[in-house]
Amino acid sequence: MTDFDLLHAVMLAGALGLLLFSMKLMSESLQQVAGRRMRRALHTLTADSLRGVSTGFATTLVMQYSSVVSVLVVSFVNSGLLTLRKAIPVLIGANIGTTVKLLLFAAVGFSALDLTAIAGPLLALALPLLLMRGQHARPASHLLVGTALLFLAFALLKDNLPPPGAESLSFLQAVQGMGVLSHLAFIVVGAVLALLVQSSSVALVITLALCQAGTIDYATGAALVLGENIGTTFIANIAALAGNAWAKRAARAHLLIKLIGVAWALLLFKPILLGIGGLTERWNGGDPFTDPDALKWALAYLHVGFNLLNGLLLLQFIPWIEKAAARLVPASGDAEERHQLAYIKDPLTAIAPELSLAEARKEVAKLGVICQRMLGMVRALLTENDDRGRAVLMQRIAKYEGITDRMEMEVDRFLARTATEVRDEADSLRIRAMLAITRDLEQAGDILFQMSRTLQRKADERLWFAPGQRQELIGLLNLLEQACRTMVQNLEADHGAPALDEATLAVQKVRRLCGKLSQDLVGHLSSEEQDIRAGLIISDLVNGGNRLAGHLLHVSEALAGRA
């Protein structure tokens, strides 16, 4: 494309809109599709920094676009499948992975993967899933569609952003020779160039063309390459606009990784150029300061060395990057944004057993509060008549269910590590009790999620409850909220025996009402298909409420030492 007109501007705006929509669709569907196997697989692939780097590296080798991988990582963080701390090594690995493509390009020429060729098969796979009626079929189809739209958005961006040619950048020649100011200016130009072409290899081609035409020299080309590394992070930050605070933090962390690297590279700019020039002369038989044919190798080595050394360096400062990103994007007051562990700072590192158990107890109490909020959302879903309001509630319940799954895994892992340091039998009993509580709370989250899906099924099938049935279900949820409130109070009590009698009485009320509702349902069923289907919905909700009450009581019993 040589000219940029109104049509290209409209297509560009559409591509950005498609990018934001695909990010949102992927995140929402991931929350519904991701089961325990997927979560455990992601946990295994990112269990430590080395595995996270390897995962990012391998994924980028397959995708060939670090920008695509970074958007996927942001989506995983947005949906709660990845913590920010685990996402940072994956992003570093993606930065290293993209350097392999540039080395291949320098050696034999290497064309990028056709993104539209990937989108087509993904959409084809999504079609049969969209027609299925299984619980996970539709969310899985939405996930495939969202991924396909992501690739199409990148293809549209590449086709409609105006890539500047070497001639249009000839003005750069006049900016050379101003020392550090020139280098900073070229870093900015390189960042904009990478944003426009959405490919580090294409940006390198333009940079090489400028060098070989004599427009700029080796040092200027190196500054452009450093800027291009920054530019590849911009799309992930744009995509994060459709995400929550943690998604934005992941995108900012990626930008910070590049900015920190460019800062130290700029401080050591002359020694780096001399070192790479010496390696190029030794390995490729040409001096990039004087030989245009050696420039492609020198700039490729710069790109590889920069990302490799920067990654190895910043792997030692992941907690610092995490804190810096959190400061750049403060959490909102919305509780759903605070879905990371609040009290356990590093679930892989246990401290003194007594302090570890105190931290875990606070985290378990927070998990109980999350279940209490989920129950409130299910109650609101029962009386919500607006489709948009139901969709928002369903999205939040799905998000919270994913949070309960992840928190259970993190807390269990932390308690298991703490158990290796415990020598006192009383502390061992406390650990076993907390492990039992986290399992009960995670299962409570699953039950509440299933109850929300049951209510959504009622809406999808256009079923209705009689006024009396609706009031009885509201009464059941009110009793469950009372039982849940007692459980949370027991979890948050620092000292003293839990109110087990009160918890037992609250659950007995729930069970008596569940029994009455089940009997009434059998006695009032008619032969009308509408009544039968609505009755099945009520039966599922009653059974879910009965099972939920059992888990709530188990929590208080475990606190009392009866688990």
Q: Which 3-state string (H, E, C) describes 393-447? A: HHHHHHHHHHHHHHHHHHHHHHHHHHHCCCCCHHHHHHHHHHHHHHHHHHHHHHH
Both 105 and 190 in one domain: the answer is yes
Helix, strand, or coil here: 519? helix
Per-residue pLDDT of the chain (563 residues; tens, 9 = 90+): 445 567 777 887 887 788 778 777 776 676 666 555 666 777 788 888 899 999 988 888 766 667 778 888 888 887 767 888 889 999 999 888 877 766 665 555 544 556 677 788 888 888 888 777 666 677 788 888 888 887 787 777 667 655 555 455 555 555 566 667 778 888 888 888 777 766 666 677 677 767 766 667 788 888 988 998 898 888 888 888 877 788 889 999 999 999 999 999 999 999 999 999 999 888 888 888 888 778 878 888 898 899 999 999 999 999 899 899 988 988 654 444 445 555 564 444 444 556 667 777 888 888 999 999 999 999 999 888 888 888 888 888 988 888 888 888 888 888 887 777 666 777 788 888 889 999 999 999 999 999 999 998 888 888 878 788 888 899 999 999 999 999 999 888 765 567 888 989 999 999 999 888 888 775 555 545 556 777 888 889 999 999 999 999 999 998 888 75
In a domain, 131, yes or no: no
Q: Among positive and negative, which fits the CA dihedral 47, 49, 54, 55?
A: positive
Final residue in a domain of this structure, among 267, 295, 328: 328
In a domain, 154, yes or no: no
Both 513 and 382 in one domain: the answer is yes
In a domain, 7, yes or no: no
Tokens of 155: 């293809």
- How many domains is the chain partitioned into structurally? 2
In a domain, 26, yes or no: no
Task: State how far the Cα of 448 lies from the Cα of 442, in Å rounded to an integer.
Answer: 10
Both 424 and 291 in one domain: the answer is no
Helix, strand, or coil here: 272? helix
For tokens 């920190």, name the residue: 260
Both 358 and 465 in one domain: the answer is yes
Number of other CB atoms surrounding residue 112 within 10 Å: 16
Got the DSSP string for 144-170?
A: HHHHHHHHHHHHHHHHHS----TTTTG
Both 295 and 368 in one domain: the answer is no
Helix locations, 268-386, DSSP H: 269-284, 295-314, 318-328, 353-383
Task: State how far the Cα of 109 lies from the Cα of 300, in Å rounded to an integer.
Answer: 12
In a domain, 123, yes or no: no
Both 382 and 427 in one domain: the answer is yes
Both 434 and 518 in one domain: the answer is yes
Both 271 and 361 in one domain: the answer is no
Final residue in a domain of this structure, among 284, 312, 328: 328
Task: State how far the Cα of 257 lies from the Cα of 268, in Å rounded to an integer.
Answer: 17
In a domain, 145, yes or no: no
Could you tell me if 80 and 339 are in contact, meaning their C-beta atoms sit under 8 angstroms apart? yes
Final residue in a domain of this structure, among 272, 295, 328: 328
Number of other CB atoms surrounding residue 163 within 10 Å: 19
In a domain, 144, yes or no: no
- Helix axis angle for 218-231 and 200-212, nearest 10°, is 160
Could you tell me if 155 and 115 are in contact, meaning their C-beta atoms sit under 8 angstroms apart? yes
Q: How far apart are the first and last CA of the chain?
A: 69
Question: What φ, ψ does residue 184 adopt, rounded to 5°?
Answer: -65, -40
Query: Residue 530 CA to chain centroid, in angstroms?
Result: 41
Both 466 and 527 in one domain: the answer is yes
Task: State how far the Cα of 52 lies from the Cα of 46, in Å rounded to an integer.
Answer: 4
User: If residue 251 lies in a helix (H) or strand (E), which one and from where to where?
Assistant: helix 245-267
Whichever domain contains 457, its CATH number is 1.20.58.220
What is the residue range of 56's domain?
Answer: 34-112+162-197+199-328
Both 511 and 412 in one domain: the answer is yes
Both 323 and 362 in one domain: the answer is no
Both 362 and 323 in one domain: the answer is no
In a domain, 371, yes or no: yes
Could you tell me if 435 and 412 are in contact, meaning their C-beta atoms sit under 8 angstroms apart? yes
Exposed / middle / buried, residue 283 (Cβ in 10 Å: 0-12, 13-18, 19+)? exposed
Exposed / middle / buried, residue 174 (Cβ in 10 Å: 0-12, 13-18, 19+)? exposed
Task: State how far the Cα of 386 lies from the Cα of 394, in Å rounded to an integer.
Answer: 12
